[in-house]
Amino acid sequence: MAPTILVVGATGNTGRGVVETLSELLKTNSFSGHRILALTRSSSGAAAQQLAKLPNVEVAEQNWVDITADWLRQHNVVRAFIASHNQPNQFAEESTFHLAALNAGVQYVVRVSTTAANVRPDCRAYYPRTHWAIESLLSSPEFQGLQWTSLQPNIFSTQYLYSAAELVKNFRKTGKQDTLVLMASEDAPVGIIDPYEIGLLAARLLTEDDVTPHNKAKYVLNGPEDITGRQIVTMVEQYIGAKVEDVRFNDLSFIDHMAAQSQESKSIILSIKYAAETAWEGKCSVSTTSKEILQIAAPKHTPAEIFKTLL
């Protein structure tokens, strides 16, 4: 069996960018003899079917949380990408995956973390502490045999701009405005990033001949431009040709809905609200981007371009 690059969550926000970019890169570089194993929950879905048509790509249905060291060896996995969920049991499931990779002799793993300013043991939101714990585990002497890179992306531009795009679409249908509800603060600049470009960067790392310079690296990812809440409002006004009548900044009411619907501890889910504080404090701007990212695959998709795509 050909050596394999495993992509967990191939049809997800970042996974599609990984698979599509890998397929292109494998045409011309030293990894041309490798295959890409793209995992998905449904191989019959439209997104999975599109990926299956790409050169060197094999799509498979497999729940990644059940992957063992034996499974990785059987599929000859030498490198892997993983963008885990952020549920309260993330540490148990993702750490099990990395342990399997270590025991199977996987050479290199690229994982997706979260906003760098939050990845610390005292973050009041629960899931950044999980990412800190996983990065600490991978940094331990016991995991010396597994090379890895952790990507710490800013908030996804699609998520940050979604409510604004919905207002524009509804206005075009009805001629009426709803309240513009933004998680953004009015004035803090935030370097939101297109999730597809995170996948593009991951693919380039996965096809580096020598990953030693990136081993144990924690790279901070932002888009090419900052945007504030006020700039989002201006962008909406340009599309609807009218002044926004009512806007709520710093609005995280969607998390209340998440907590109400979740079977997990309500207080744990509600703690997600604290994750936005670093952005509101101006700690998540483009200025924090790791210089290595700009050299390998500098993000190019601006907020204006993403907003146009959402529409």
- The string of DSSP codes covering 194-214 is -HHHHHHHHHHHHT-S--GGG
Q: Are residues 94 and 170 in the same domain?
A: no
Q: Is 139 exposed, middle or buried (0-12, 13-18, 19+ CB in 10 A)?
A: middle
Parent domain of 58: 4-155+193-221
Q: Are residues 213 and 269 in the same domain?
A: no
Q: Are residues 243 and 173 in the same domain?
A: yes
Q: How many domains does the chain have?
A: 2
Q: Are residues 142 and 118 in the same domain?
A: yes
Q: Are residues 19 and 58 in the same domain?
A: yes
Residue 269, helix vs strand vs coil: helix
Report the distance separating Cα 108 and Cα 85, nearest Å: 20
Sign of the four-CA dihedral 206, 210, 212, 218: negative
Q: Are residues 87 and 177 in the same domain?
A: no
| Residue 292 falls inside a structural domain | no
State the Cα torsion 179-251-86-213 to the nearest 10°. Answer: 110
Determine which helix (DSSP H) or strand (DSSP E) holds 152, and give its type and residue range: strand 147-153
Residue 61, helix vs strand vs coil: strand
pLDDT truncated to tens, each residue of the chain (311 aa)? 899 999 999 999 899 999 999 999 998 888 888 999 999 988 888 999 999 999 999 999 999 999 999 999 999 999 999 999 999 999 999 999 999 999 999 999 999 999 999 999 999 999 999 999 999 999 999 999 999 999 999 999 999 999 999 999 999 999 999 999 999 999 999 999 999 999 999 999 999 999 999 999 999 999 999 999 999 999 999 999 999 999 999 999 999 999 999 999 999 999 999 999 999 999 999 999 999 999 999 999 999 999 999 99
In Å, what is the CA distance from 285 to each residue of 154, 255, 298? Answer: 9, 23, 15
Q: Which residues contact 274 (CB under 8 A, 6 or more apart)?
A: 123, 124, 125
Q: Are 194 and 156 a contacting pair, CB within 8 Å?
A: yes
Q: Are 158 and 182 a contacting pair, CB within 8 Å?
A: no
Q: Are residues 70 and 95 in the same domain?
A: yes
From 228, 205, 285, select the one nearest 14 (Cα to Cα). 205
From 186, 191, 187, 303, select the one nearest 249 (Cα to Cα). 186
Q: pTM above the 0.75 mark?
A: yes
- Looking at the chain, how many residues does it have? 311
Q: Are 289 and 115 a contacting pair, CB within 8 Å?
A: no
Report the distance separating Cα 154 and Cα 76, nearest Å: 33
